Amino acid sequence: MATLELRIDEDVATGSVARTRRLGLLFWMAVGWMIFVFAAAALANVLPLPSPTDMDMLERRAPASFLHWLGTDGLGRDELARLIYGARISLTVGLCAPVIGLTIGGALGILAGYFRGRFESFVVGSMDVLLAFPPLILALAVTAYLGQSVLNITIIIGVLGIPAFMRVARAATLTLARREFVIAAQALGATHARILLRELLPNVLLPLLAFFLLGVAVTIVVEGSLSFLGLGVPPPISSWGSMIGEGRESLEVAPQLAFIPAITLFLTVLAFNLVGDTLKALTDPRQSAL
C-alpha cells in the first residue's frame, strides 16, 4: 500500500513539473504584457499625462518629443494619453462582455449537459438560432438602433458570446457527468443541486475560465472593429479601434497614428490568446485528473 501511494505521489509530482515546464517563456512574456497594460489603464489618472481630449491645432501630427512621447494626432491630442485611456475602454468591454457569456452560457451549458433530454434540445436549438445571425452584422444593427455607449456595446457582445460558453460548459459537463465522483454522489443520494454546485461546477469552471481569456481577446477585436467602423464608443472617448480609424486618414503623413494602436491591440490580443490557450491545455478535463 505504501509503495502504491509513493508511486501516485511521484506521478502527481511529475505531472505538475511537466505542466510547469509547458508554460515557457512566451507564456510569462504574455502575462507580463497583460499586467503592464492593466497597470497603465488603472493608473492613467496618476500618471503624468496630458488630457487625452485637449486639442492643439498648432501641434497637429507632431512627431515624438519630450512633451509628447508618441506625438500628437490629427487634432493635436497627445497620442500616448489617448492610447492609455483608450485601453480602459477596450479592456472594460473586453472583460465585462465575456462575463455575461460566462455567467449565462456557463449556467445553461452545465444544466443542459447534466439533465439532457428536452431541456438540452431546447438550449442547443436556441443557441443554434442565435448563431445563425452573422455576429458583426447583428452587432452593427443593434448598436445603430440602441445608440453608441460602452454599456450597449458590452451587452451586445456579451449576448453574442453566450453560445460559445454554453458549448464549452456542456462539453465539459458531458465528460464529467460520467466520472466516478459524480456517480458516487448520486449513489449516496445527493440532490441535483448539490451535485451541480459541489461536484460539477468547480471542475467545469476551470475550462470555462481558460476559455474566458480567449473570449476577452475576441471581444477586444470585436469592439475595435465596431469603433473602427464608427459604431463604437462616441467621441471624444477614445478606444484602440477608433484611434486606428482616425489614424487611417493620416497614413501618408503620419502612419504611426494608425500603427501604434494597431500594434498595441495586436500584442494585447496575442497575449490573451497565448495565456488562454496554455490554460486551456492545462485544464482540459480529458487530459487532467479531475
What pLDDT band is residue 39 in, cutting at 50, 70 and 90?
very high
* CATH 1.10.3720.10 for domain 79-282: yes
| Across 164-186, average pLDDT | 86
Letter for the amino acid at 278?
A: T
Whether the pLDDT of residue 241 is over 90: the answer is no
Maximal CA-CA distance, the chain: 82
Give the SS3 label for residue 78: strand
Whether the pLDDT of residue 8 is over 80: the answer is no
- What are the residues facing 72 on neighbouring strands? 78
Q: Which residues of 29-55 are buried (b: 16+ CB within 10 A; e: fewer)?
A: ebeebbeebeebbeebeeeebeebeee
pLDDT tens readout for residues 106-141: 999 999 988 888 888 998 888 888 888 787 787 778
Closest CA to 280 of 23, 91, 17, 15: 23
Q: Are 257 and 76 in contact (CB under 8 A)?
A: no
Whether the pLDDT of residue 216 is over 50: the answer is yes
Whether the pLDDT of residue 10 is over 60: the answer is no
Q: Model pTM?
A: 0.79
How does DSSP assign 155-194, residue by residue?
HHHHHHTHHHHHHHHHHHHHHHTTSHHHHHHHHTT--HHH
Whether the pLDDT of residue 198 is over 60: the answer is yes
Domain boundaries, the chain: 79-282
